[in-house]
Structure 1
């Protein structure tokens, strides 16, 4: 089913396909062509489909970030935005220790400058995707043999992907240059708002893509509709967003033709054996053991993000959930609802400062069951790998805290099939979710609260909460008594789950409804790269992140000194390397830096 990464192997014999003369963003890449290829080879349906597959292949940002573009580590352009969305959003610490990848510390404390290499790697990787989409559209225009239906499908997929890449650029940097298949001079200024262009791409895709695809990983019309709704939401076009989300929820199907729905078990969205399901709107397809001898197609951008030390994963101790996030999953013993305002009061007990051989009794208060599919904490089963032993799996507790990530972790029982050990750190076949149906429901709830019905907004949120309350999806005890990590029998008390739907009392006003919706997105989508961008579009990044710095900084050293300033830090700095490459004939840069950066 994971067609993209498998078919990508067939492109390796055509390295120059991806570097056609006149492709966009060459000025940003500043590298010579690696070869030449007669355009007649790709000016037919088979060749154009190979170009389209290469446009999908750029979704992971890895081949080019790590190799062809001469960039930094693959994690700098990770497609799940774990640095820019989750760590910078306060749901995860960088992890590891202070001397490892220190450029991340600057990013998450909002004291980095435009010369930070992470920004340049991400910029190049995403514009590489734009370039490949434009290659498809340019070659498609030159071919008169393709049928109208196939032409619409190919163009729709290319424009969907281009819309995605520009959406990434927009939410990262705001003012970026628009370069399409008709652009002759790639040194375009970044003075025009590109939201209308992004909308046009998703509208075209929605109107021209089929409902289903022959291969699951390809975008269909409903993925385009959902992304169009997301584009409206980011622009605060709530009525437009509400209308299209209503259509997606009522009529949408995934690329395989299955009607969109929440899968019964929350955890099944984070297991390669059960993904590409009814909840899949659009995923970046990952595959393990593809025969390349690398983990380039196995979420290489997340290779650092596994437990460290005496763990079965070898490397590298990054991407640790924060205490602030863990506390968010506390629920009221009576109502089963979260504490939206004072969740950091009476925090969930952790094993901070306690060595693994020393006794520890986990927290036994009521919790949202999604916590233990999102966060690895001591005394609870870490999937089927045994009980999380605490400190011996953590690189430096005082720096990154006591927790481990979990949504990106493959299972021991299927590790041979869904993990890839071809590199010094693991790869995984677990897909990266760009949009899943729970995300659509919560975006629709937000649009309803802003421009529609509070009752309908509550219904959407409760649909997500009711799935989380399914007892069949609660954490199971996978541990065999012979497992050397067994022995923390308090896990049954620690897995004290109590979650319930909201009532009209909590959704009585727009303000209260939005507060609940915002918090639900934090709980449901934690560690999936959304949080920072959500905080920015809601206009609450400054108050939320500065409160986070104050609270978390008392626990771990990694975020001490962090400070978010409104009017500056909503967007990252335009990479200085790209400004330097954008000089026009008069020697002046066509790219302008974002406000507040020098």
Structure 2
């Protein structure tokens, strides 16, 4: 797939130009469709456009929502306290005023653009005069997988959404209403089942096609779709099928999971492909967005890990994953960084260097994530790029670090969760402990509700800052049937109480109120289990698309 990444920038002009709303995009290039798909190359090129929608709108737009989900959880602050927080604070702090949030609006539009492209591919490729029927079937299966993925992203963020299953003209789109969550999930299930029947296994692709959708990716997302609906038996069965096919495995070292040297590894079921070859700068942006403002090749310092997350690692005795997940100010090493001296020297150039050393008692040779600019004085190690791995030190967007969307560790933990909910605790423990063994933690021996708690904690530690936590705490309930997120947030939430009490709060988070420590105090369950429908979409639909409860 790497060789077609270089034409992603051109694909948008094949049929579509940019537009501001999914209701409008159908009019773009419609005259071209009847004369397109005449060759296998055209079909493949169009499908590349379906893939490019994964990060459509530039390297910044989709990444916003991936990070925003963690900012809305107990794992992350917005972080940057030296710049305007307007795009984030209304949602990340549950203020109930995000109806016009640009990040959410862009995410909605770009996901529907992806769906539109997939709908066209699914309808037109079967009619194309391509002699290789197997290839034609595979291309359609890839499009169905991608369409399912885009709908899954939308339904878990917005709840009821418009369901558009084909290429429709504008007069057929205007007036469309939202389909309920169960209908959307049924459609996703159908697409993923169909895709899984046709898509090749990861091992069956040629090297040039690594990164395309696979049978394993389809089964993995089908399992996740079932899990989010609490269809425990269905989730267990499909995830067990995936595991038994033996196409994937955990990497030996946790530190390799997010390494630029291990893109498309045996642990990865699906990831966004990036590249940098000196000509096409199609690199990822997360290293910039989450990097420290006070480091070599300065970052923007959004989505900073919370001390609450760090404390969870410490309480679990999980030193291995902690060092590969969080970089904390005052540290004397960074996991995997062989050029740490560069970071020490950079810190020593700070005007406040000596005063910080004296105030906090840090080592003279430490790396400083400036507490005055960073809410938690911590940054995400998973997206951090070691100095020697950066093709251009001050152009981190050129880093070819693929974004891992679904990992085998997630599959194992989903399977363990489903088994536990079905009272198959012995099996649940086996697969939970496979994940723990990699990071040198003792086996869990608990059963029942205690095992459930252990699985949930393991998901938090293993998948921290990977766009999973918010959706987990939204769907999980406690022993009394109360949503876990409602125990964390709200005026009496445990996360809120911890951060707003000087006796328990982290010193860096307490001292820097550039982002208020009261994050989540205005959370309302009846409103905040989903994001608001973008106001512009409601206006464009003349009101046929309605707003989520509590967001009016």
Q: Hey, what does 2:410 align to over in structure 1? A: 439
Is 1:324 matched with 2:308?
Answer: yes
Q: Hey, what does 2:523 align to over in structure 1? A: 564
Determine the C-alpha separation between the residues in 1 that align with 2:25 and 2:210.
35
Match of 1:157 among 121, 142, 159: 142
Determine the C-alpha separation between the residues in 2 that align with 1:99 and 1:12.
30
Match of 2:459 among 500, 509, 521: 521
Cα distance 1:34–1:548, how it changes in 2: closer, same or farther (>3 A)? Answer: farther
Is 1:218 matched with 2:212?
Answer: yes
Cα shift at 1:7: 1.1
Q: Hey, what does 1:373 align to over in structure 2? A: 324
Determine the C-alpha separation between the residues in 1 that align with 2:393 and 2:474.
36
Determine the C-alpha separation between the residues in 2 that align with 1:597 and 1:221.
39
Q: Does structure 1 conserve the Cα–Cα contact (< 8 Å) formed by 2:37 and 2:128? A: no
Q: Hey, what does 2:48 align to over in structure 1? A: 53
Cα shift at 1:290: 5.3
Q: How many residues align?
A: 497
Query: Unaligned 5+ residue runs, structure 1?
Result: 67-73, 254-259, 332-337, 339-365, 470-498, 584-588
Is 1:284 matched with 2:236?
Answer: no
Is 1:460 matched with 2:450?
Answer: no
Alignment of 1:70-469 (within 5 A): 75-78=60-63, 81-84=66-69, 86-97=70-81, 99-111=83-95, 112-184=97-169, 185-187=172-174, 188-193=176-181, 194-211=184-201, 212-214=204-206, 215-253=209-247, 260-289=248-277, 291-292=279-280, 294=281, 297-300=282-285, 303-309=288-294, 311-331=295-315, 338=316, 366-377=317-328, 378-382=330-334, 383-384=336-337, 385-386=339-340, 393-397=368-372, 400-416=375-391, 421-422=394-395, 426-469=397-440
Cα distance 1:80–1:268, how it changes in 2: closer, same or farther (>3 A)? Answer: farther
Cα shift at 1:102: 2.5
Q: Hey, what does 1:354 align to over in structure 2? A: none
Is 1:596 matched with 2:550?
Answer: yes
Cα distance 1:426–1:153, how it changes in 2: closer, same or farther (>3 A)? Answer: closer
Determine the C-alpha separation between the residues in 2 that align with 1:456 and 1:128.
41
Q: Does structure 2 conserve the Cα–Cα contact (< 8 Å) formed by 1:375 and 1:406? A: yes
Query: Unaligned 5+ residue runs, structure 2?
Result: 348-355, 357-366, 477-482
Which one is further off, 379-388 or 279-288?
A: 379-388
Cα shift at 1:137: 1.3
Cα distance 1:31–1:300, how it changes in 2: closer, same or farther (>3 A)? Answer: farther
SS at match of 1:189: coil
Which one is further off, 320-329 or 110-119?
A: 110-119
Cα distance 1:192–1:459, how it changes in 2: closer, same or farther (>3 A)? Answer: same
SS at match of 1:149: helix
Determine the C-alpha separation between the residues in 2 that align with 1:11 and 1:403.
35
Determine the C-alpha separation between the residues in 1 that align with 2:425 and 2:550.
38
Is 1:575 matched with 2:534?
Answer: yes
Q: Hey, what does 2:480 align to over in structure 1? A: none
Q: Hey, what does 1:341 align to over in structure 2? A: none
Deviations 1:386-415 (A, max 9, x none): 177687743544861121211001122222
Aligned-CA RMSD value: 2.6
Q: Does structure 1 conserve the Cα–Cα contact (< 8 Å) formed by 2:301 and 2:374? A: no
More helix by share: 2
Cα distance 1:235–1:146, how it changes in 2: closer, same or farther (>3 A)? Answer: farther
Q: Does structure 2 conserve the Cα–Cα contact (< 8 Å) formed by 1:320 and 1:405? A: yes
Q: Does structure 2 conserve the Cα–Cα contact (< 8 Å) formed by 1:175 and 1:191? A: yes
Cα shift at 1:178: 1.0
Deviations 1:122-177 (A, max 9, x none): 11121121122112112213214343322221111000011111100011101111
Cα distance 1:397–1:26, how it changes in 2: closer, same or farther (>3 A)? Answer: closer
Is 1:7 matched with 2:4?
Answer: yes
SS at match of 1:127: helix
Is 1:542 matched with 2:486?
Answer: yes
Q: Hey, what does 1:352 align to over in structure 2? A: none
Determine the C-alpha separation between the residues in 1 that align with 2:27 and 2:141.
30
Q: Does structure 1 conserve the Cα–Cα contact (< 8 Å) formed by 2:119 and 2:165? A: yes
Determine the C-alpha separation between the residues in 2 that align with 1:451 and 1:464.
20
Cα shift at 1:313: 2.1
Deviations 1:320-359 (A, max 9, x none): 111000000124xxxxxx2xxxxxxxxxxxxxxxxxxxxx
Deviations 1:13-66 (A, max 9, x none): 55432429xx999653569748964642433221011011111111123xx2x4
Q: Does structure 1 conserve the Cα–Cα contact (< 8 Å) formed by 2:77 and 2:303? A: yes
SS at match of 2:404: strand
